[in-house]
């Protein structure tokens, strides 16, 4: 979800994306497409990359006190 649906030229915003790594292990690559009315770049592809170490069993989760 973008931080704002309307940005003026030169303004900055942020985009929040979630990469679900549940039940995955190894190198994961996903893309997010950003569409705008910018005539110079109407479509931008963002690439999310992650190295997932594998499933974690409940015994491996550290307990904090």
pLDDT in tens, 27-59: 989 999 998 888 999 999 999 898 888 666 666
Structure confidence at residue 1 (pLDDT): 52
Q: Does residue 10 sit in helix, strand or coil?
A: coil
Higher-pLDDT residue of 63 and 20 is: 20
Q: What is the rounded CA–CA span in Å between residue 51 and residue 28?
A: 6
The answer, yes or no, to whether residue 17 has pLDDT greater than 70, is yes
Largest interatomic CA distance in the chain? 54
DSSP state of 16: -
Find which of 5-9, 16-20, 30-34 is predicted with most confidence, using mean pLDDT: 30-34
């Amino acid at each position: 979800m973008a931080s704002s649906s309307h940005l003026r030229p030169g303004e900055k915003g942020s985009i929040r994306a979630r990469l679900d790594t549940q039940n995955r292990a190894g190198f994961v690559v996903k893309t997010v497409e950003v569409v705008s009315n910018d005539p110079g770049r109407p479509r931008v592809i963002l690439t999310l990359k992650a190295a997932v170490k594998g499933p974690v069993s409940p015994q491996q989760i550290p307990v904090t006190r």
